[in-house]
Structure 1
Amino acid sequence: MLKYQKKNKNQTQTCFRKVYGGLDLFGQPPAFKILKQEKFTTSLGFLFTIGLSIVCVLYTLIQLQDLYAQTGPRVTMSEEQVVDTNAYPLEMKNYTIGITMANISLGSLQTLGTHFTMSVQNCKRVRQLDPTTNKTVISQNCTTYPTEPCGDQHFVTDLQKAYFSKIKLGFVQCLNVEQWQENPPQLQGTVQGTVYQYLQITIAQCKNTTNKTDCAPKEKIWKELQTGYYAVHLIDNLIQMKNPGTPFKNIINLQYTTFSNSTSKSVFQDFKIIQSDTDTGYIMEDIQTEYGLIQSQNRESQDNYNNQFIIQHVINLDSRQGFYNREYQKLQDIFGNVGGLWQILFLAMSALLQPLTSTFMNLQMANKLFRFEGSNSEVLQVQQSSDSIDEVKEEVKKSQSAIKVNVFGSQQLDVESRKSFTSKRSLQGQKSMSKSVFVKSVDKVNNYKQMIQLLKKRKQSLNLSMRDIILMSFGCKKKEKQLINYATEKFMNKLDIANLISKVYEIDRLKLILLNEQQQKLFNYLPKPIIPEAMFGEEFQKKMKVVEQKQAYKVILQDEKPEFMRLQEAFVAYVKIQQKNEVSEVDKKILDILDEDILELFENLYCNTQKLENIFQDSPMKLQLQFSDIESPKSNFQPELEEDMANQIPVLPAMMVRSQE
């Protein structure tokens, strides 16, 4: 069964694999490299990344500091109308009340009990539905709290102590301490509610009864209470949601209203319950609920004296209740904000860096794949180098027509003989041409390290810095920009997917042309490259020649060889080609298109024994070169020898022969 038939047959399994692969969010996409790197990096991009990281780290530290200090909360406020509420106790620690009567000159009246009376009641009214009569039954019960002059025992908070320390307390009345502590008054509900509790303060003229006979005469009472002020020291709260900790700040206000013995005044004061929910958790919710009372409304009504009271002050709850929800940033919010800041700054910096990085990457790709001509003098030098190589090739052809001498068994070369041969072989060419710039530089090389540096510098590339790229983006260096754009277009066309697929088909067609039927069948079973285990050893470089003898290792090892080792092997291969009796057409074409500088270098090394020894003798890769492999009893380069040199054929430098030993 063919592969596509087998695939169509297992459609269910194929569909399952597609769904399975689509649901895997952590699947690793294929990664490609550019110039042996997974991503192209620049120093400017590195600096921008460091700056971006510093900004985000500082922002994170500031946010964490705000989180720890609980500053800048998010506050939402809402109100609801309520009818029935829970009872709110008025305790000494959360409620302050002090009552006083003053004359028109703001002097405290000292006639409590003889001229006027003061009563404080906490009344509770309950509405119930009588199931028998189906009527609402209202019951009311009031608890009287006797008053007494305020003293230090009435104040338990620092605010109360600080406030009343500035007031003459002898004439300010407070609730009885014992009863207040045992049974604190309560506020609950509204007038329309089922349960309604309120606090009522009544100021009335003193009247003698069977239980009380110490009241002053009516004339004195009338004169004392002719006019004056009714004052109350009452608790209030400021809502401060920005402050960490409790959102309420207690304050005490002095509220007063006028009174007269000819009128009856009613004062209705509403307190609104504020519920504050604060989320203090760093990661999860941690709600802390607090309640506070704030004064919301203060209404007064006045009528002719009704013979019952001069002042009636009713304190109850407002029908509106406020809700405050306070939240602080959590760690996940901070990290989300940092991520958003990172994305914004990253996009802004990418807009600036992306064109520069793309141009710089294209420049490096172009330098890797192409060479660029410099000034006219460099072009002339390259032409001179090409002419000199042509002349050397002519010398090679002339030397091939000379008498060939076969030498068997002798591998020893005479250095002076080879020098004589090389000097004769290249004498005419050297007279008619000048050395190229690269070969002149080679003359100054004394060891393999200098040779490696020279090979790195010889590349004809565009040496542009990031500063030049930035100037190029502003319209400068138009010539270099044209070269980069042209080179980019060239290698991008090679990366076209249609072009790549067509090249693959061309390789398949070449296999059909170059390989016969038996070779094609065997070609499909060539082994995959093997990664040698010895490659990870410390002295693998010395063992490379031995490991390379195995065919399965050659593909891997070719990529691992240093540039200088490849140069050595290329030189050996060049000498082998020159020693052939008949140079094939493929060899000729390779030599024709070989790098001009490298070809001239090989000719120079072939003729210069001392230079060859200086460069290759101390190379750490010298053990990998078996120069004996390139020697042959026959050579195309046969010199016109003197009679005393008949048995000495200068084929290879002496150093190559010594390596055999």
Structure 2
Amino acid sequence: MCKYLSFNCVKNLLQGIDIFGLAVTFRIFSQKNHKTHFGGFVTLLIVFPSSVIQQQNYVFQPEPFYFTPKLFSFAFGLQDSFGNNFIDERVYKVKSTLQINRRVLNNLTGKYDLVISQRDVSLVRCTLEHFQVDGTQDYFIKLPIDQLYCFALNETQIYIEGEFSALNFTQFNIQISECTGNQCLDTMQRQKILFSPRLGIYTIDNIIQITNNGKPYVSVGKNLFWVSGLSFQKEIRYNLVNNYVHTDDGLIAQNNRIDRIVSYYDDTEQILDRSSPLLFNFYIDYEKNKEIVYYRQYPKLVMLFSQLGGTFNVLVGIGCLLCWPISQLELNRKIINSAFNIDQSVIDLIETKKDSKKKSKDKSDFQIKNNQIQQSNQNYSNKQDTHIDPEHAKNSQKLQSETAYQSQDRIFKIFSQSFSQVKLKLRDYIMTYFNFFCSKKSNKSLMIKYGTDILYSHIDIFNIVNKLIELEKLKHLLLNEDQIKLFDYLPKPTLKLPKAEDQSMLKNNKLASLNKVTLQVSQENDQQEIKLDQLSNQSTQVNNQSSLLFMPQKTSEEKAKEAHEAFNKIINQSSNINSDIDKKLISMIDINLLSYFKQNFDQPFNKSIQFKPFQFNQIAQKNSYQVNPEPQTEKQIVQQIDNFVTEEDCINPFYESKAKHLASKVFGETSSNKQEDQTSISESSNYRDFSQLSKHKMIRNTALKIKIDSSYAYSINQL
């Protein structure tokens, strides 16, 4: 016994000093913490930065770089004194060569002998095929490429290599000279054109983008110009340089790759006296003994764990200051939208004022259309003729459809306002950081704070414990002692894989069918056993159907459809009309949603919410085709659902005051329109019939309109 107690003491001691214990918290969307996209972006900036080291290295022999259309685009041409590109061999001549220097070891002397060779390079007029570097085609399309020189496409061995002191040195040379000979223009014309000639080159340059992991450079178009004259010539050197980007982006082990990027470094020019027809002597080669190297390394898992202190904590603290206010605001917004319907008039008063002007305009237009219908019906009824005018009927139907459409649109706006949600803009997120310094807060922030305070008070641990105690009390109140014992022993939901669950359902169906056949054949079984089998089958069905943990999440459309069907069933089932729960549920439904259910009673659910026209418009349409119409009375409506209003509801002070106010308001307005329309006369007479009833009956009927038919009274009042 002592050993057992000592073992428990040691175990409790170890549990008490455990610093790796997990906190038990509520979950939101199956996550321990509420996370946002903004927080993930800041996390990437903190956790996954690349460390970059740049250095310039001395290189004795730069490796060759070949001028191919897919790697290097190059075009050049001569411009006159007005800046126009032109190709005219009667004015100037162009020659391009590849100069190759090789230093070969002499075995006799032990020294290197210089071997110089040249190879001519063919030049042609440029076409779009000469410019194939990705991202630069648009730049060259805008140039006068038909007046520029390019390398011939069959020239695949144009390259540069090394520098002059290296063992292998190759450079590309272009010479532009004034035309001399019998096939050239005369001297005066040539000198007029070549008074100040300008050499222009159009090529590409690769800009290093060290932050781009996949392609650490971007290619752009580049142009350079040099001017010569009649008395001097220029020697120009266009220098390139090799850039090497070493990248290690392995998460655990090293994953090295090298990207070679050739880019423009600089250019030099020398001015020489002109002693020959030569105008420009242009060279392309490497910068002397230089290359640029970049080292990029992304953090590995070991490095991330080692950075859990020091600078990393500072960055995390800054990230928390940036992310937590936004994450908290977004969490509060989602909680508010999931628990409440938001009144937009309270959130944004300015938008409400703007909308009120538009609503008043729509209301006036709606009133004009309605007056036209009433005037048309009045004129038509004064003729005392049963003959139907087709043209008049067509116009009346047109006005009627327009009025019905506007009625539907107005009710749809009511629904959108009743079931709207809080939406935040970028300004609201930015103002979150300044709420501490602002004395006056916006309506949105006040609404969110008020709603979250209410919800947090309900999810407080003490409130949850009290609710659990109340649930236990309710269980003892509704169930007897034996039922409580069975309730406590109800099985837990069985967790199965989808395929196994489907197979078990098929087996249960087969067993159920076999049991039915067996019960039909064997009539000699004991009645008590049959009852027990039936109860077991029912319990199996209940367990399969009532597993709340496995019920799929329903969308808002599915919930609305089921609510509409349930409303129709409750109204149609006469046995449930006197149910107190049904009456309380219907009285608690949103007044606008209840109006939609009432208008679409016994109709299939329409997800587009196409509301039926108001009953007033249906009466007006009927009057436009009949001399002695039979208007619908309020008694017919009361007779359908009269039992939903009890005596207690009628003497309730709230319903009594509302009923008297609504009755006086509706009776007065309908009687004021007595001489405008025959429909209004018939309806007001119906209301006078109601007013002749007893005081108790009037309050009963008007209370019925407040609870069940508020939409109809609202439409009459607005019209």
Check whether TM > 0.5: no
Q: Which bracket does the TM-score occupy, shorter chain normalised?
A: 0.3 to 0.5
Tell me which structure has the larger Cα radius of gyration.
1
Structure scoring higher RCO (CA < 8 A, sep ≥ 6) equals: 1
Q: TM-score, normalised by structure 2?
A: 0.38
TM, length-normalised to structure 1: 0.42
